[in-house]
Structure 1
Amino acid sequence: MRRTPRSSLPVALLTALAVTAVGGCDWGGGGDGRQDTTPPAAPRGLTVEAGSATTAHVMWNQATDDTGVTGYEVYRDAKRVRTVPGAKHMVDIVGLRPATTYAFTVRARDAEGNVSADSKKLTVTTPKAVAADREAPSRPADLRGRAEGSRSAMLTWGKSTDDRRVASYEIYQGGSKIHSVGGGQTATLVTGLRPGTAYTFTVKARDAADNFSPASRKVRLTTGAGEDAGRGTAPTGFRATTHRADGAYYIDLSWVPPRTGGAVAEYQIQLDGRTATSLVFGGTAPRDKAEHSFYIGKKSGERHRVRIRPKLPDGTWGGYSPTREVTTG
């Protein structure tokens, strides 16, 4: 009987992402006087979360460019709605209509005016409006935090109550908002932190009418001093084996998704030191154990090295799992 790959959950197996090598480029002020005509790479890691009935929180990863990104353009349904400096990677879009679906993309721009291709497009639907709601949600209770290695931290808090419903939770680092999660989520992994650094976090609840709760109590933590390559955000229990079906070999993977406060729906698979595929789970992504199997070839006795890393809910890549070696046949 034919044995099929054990990955029934994934609905999309994207082709390998090409690695774009940006070579040296002559630009204004260079020895030959030619201007920079190379656009930045398209921003990656886009996430969009409805903050209320009239707002959306858009985040993305820093784009790369041969001379440096100076700004980002945020588009809503193909119309540019905001421009932010190159050092900023998030923005709140206001003035939206309740119970409406919007599509967002982001482009990067460099100092010479070169504009990148669009980021991937994400849609979000704002909640329904609530009439004359002036009652704010209750304060999130019992905020707790712990460092997850040197560059991330896990925050958890108690659920807030509201006369209608909580639309989102806003996470603050000091006095600056750094993230937003849905109203049904009471934990999140904060990434992009610096090693050996003290941080202070608070959380506020927000309803569909843009009423904010008082800030939670402060939680203070210090990240680990050493570089850990993101181990706190890596999958655990990673295993790799092979099987043969109809004259071909497959690599079978299993792992425990990292704890992020939300589901991890996308992973990047690295094979023999190079990115092989991106794996996207459709529907409900697995939280306790994930499995996937992919075709590797028809030759017996071939050795391969494989590892994976997750795309975290804030759009950044997590740490790699340990590397496993397998031999076909």
Structure 2
Amino acid sequence: MCGGILALCCGCAAPGDGDEGRPTGVTAEAGSATSVHVMWNALPAASGYEVYRGASKVADVPGSGRMLDVTRLTPSTAYVFTVRARDAGGRLGPPSREARATTPAVVPADRSAPTRPGGTTGRAAGSGAVQLSWTAAADDRGVVSYDVFQGGTKIHSAGGSQTATVVTGLRPGTRYSFTVRARDAAGNLSPAGAAVRLSTAPDGDGGEDTAPADFRATTHRADGAYYIDLSWMPPRLDGTVTEYQIQLDGQPVTSLVWGGAPPRGRAAHSFYAGREAGAGHRVRLRARLPDGTWGAFSAERAVTTGSTGAH
């Protein structure tokens, strides 16, 4: 049954596996009075994506991408967006869940750009991501969004109320330069803030910031069997984490996928551990990041069936 947390990746196979391959974590946020920034989680087996506004396809995106600025929209208008993944054979998976956004009203004769974002800082967040933060820009009509540039190319967008974001999809062990610019409803762009130069971690190093936090493990008995109960705080990332991998005694045992929206706070899951009392196990888990790569493992916990404690 597909709903809530699902074991064994129910409904999350790669594009082309029957009618599976539905992109997850799709969000839409107005970037100006005439544009909306759409983001989604990467599917590792996807060769490309199609982005739809209502029933109309607006763009093709290569498999390495997971975001798109949809432009030439109408101010003060509500829109619905979906994303479909395509496999190497050209087959399309089912559409994602709908993401909705409303463009703000355009301000007549607004030619005044926001001020430059200040205090830009950053740090590596594993081998494929960096976290950036900045001081809010000011605008006489209000900042609608912040654009993140790598060199001279826009690679990301954050909401006007945000002063931090995580940029994913980067190469391991690579040095980058990022700048942030503020945008108002009329599309006026501020000057770029100070450049931040960062290096991602080497390949295979997920980075502690990508690991689930405050991981706990206990056991309980029901109907003559024992179950391991897990709970954790999802990693703080820009994008939605919908999939986790559980490792038991050093081996992957199951994947969890949320069929609907994942919880915003503490997550929890229980799984069967057998009928033997006094059996010891080691357990940990990791998240699939929005760019399709795996994050770092949580701390490992030791549990014993028949005991309520954890180590």
Q: Which amino acid aligns with 1:151?
A: G
CA contact (8 A) 1:154 1:187 kept: yes
Is 2:129 aligned against 1:152? yes
1:78 paired to 2:55: yes
- Alignment match, 1:15: 6
User: What is the deviation of 1:91?
Assistant: 1.8
Deviation at 1:203, TM superposition (A): 0.5
Superposition TM-score, scaled by structure 1 size = 0.74
Residue 256 (structure 2) aligns with: 277
| CA deviation profile, 1:268-315 (whole Å, cap 9, x unmatched) | 352642434335445xx23xxx35353647845366654333465778
The answer on whether the counterparts of 2:217 and 2:228 sit within 8 Å (CA) in structure 1 is: yes
Cα distance between partner residues in 2 of 1:267 and 1:41: 13
**In structure 2, C-alpha distance between the alignment counterparts of 1:40 and 1:14, rounded to whole Å:** 17
CA–CA distance in 1 between the matches of 2:290 and 2:281? 30
Name the residue aligned to 1:127.
104
Q: What is the 5 A alignment of 1:58-77? A: 58-63=38-43, 69=47, 71-77=48-54
Q: Indicate the SS of the match to 1:232.
A: helix
Once the two structures are TM-superposed, the CA of residue 201 in structure 1 deviates from its matched residue by 0.2
Q: What pairs up with 1:158-197 in 2 under 5 angstroms?
A: 158-197=135-174
Moved over 6 A (4+): 37-40, 245-248, 313-316
Q: What is the RMSD computed on CA atoms of the aligned residues?
A: 3.5
8 A contact 1:267–1:308 mirrored in 2: no
User: What TM-score comes out, normalization by structure 2 length?
Assistant: 0.78
Deviation of 1:87 (Å)? 4.5
For residues 233 and 104 of structure 1, the distance between their equivalents in structure 2, rounded to whole angstroms, comes to 28
Structure 1 119/263 Cα, relative in aligned 2: closer, same or farther at 3 Å? closer
Structure 2 CA distance for partners of 1:142 and 1:21, relative to 1, 3 Å? closer
Q: Does 1:53 align with 2:44?
A: no
- Name the CA shift for 1:134/1:239 in 2 (closer, same or farther; >3 Å): same
The verdict on how the C-alpha distance between 1:111 and 1:228 changes in structure 2, with shifts beyond 3 A counting, is closer
How far has the Cα of 1:39 moved from its partner?
8.7
SS in 2 for 1:15: strand
Name structure 1 gaps, 5 residues minimum.
1-11, 24-36
Gaps of 5+ in 2: 307-311
Change beyond 3 A, Cα 1:107–1:252:
same
Alignment: residue pair count: 296
- State the shift of 1:167 in Å: 1.1
Q: Deviations over 1:170-211 (max 9, x none)?
A: 111111111111111111122222222110000011112211
Structure 1 window deviating more from structure 2 (197-206 vs 82-91): it is: 82-91
- Which one-letter code corresponds to 1:142 in the other structure? G
The answer to whether residue 205 in structure 2 is matched with residue 228 in structure 1 is yes
Q: CA deviation at 1:80?
A: 1.1
- Inter-CA distance 202–21: structure 2 relative to 1 (3 Å threshold): closer
Structure 2 match to 1:239: 216
AA partner of residue 72 (structure 2): G
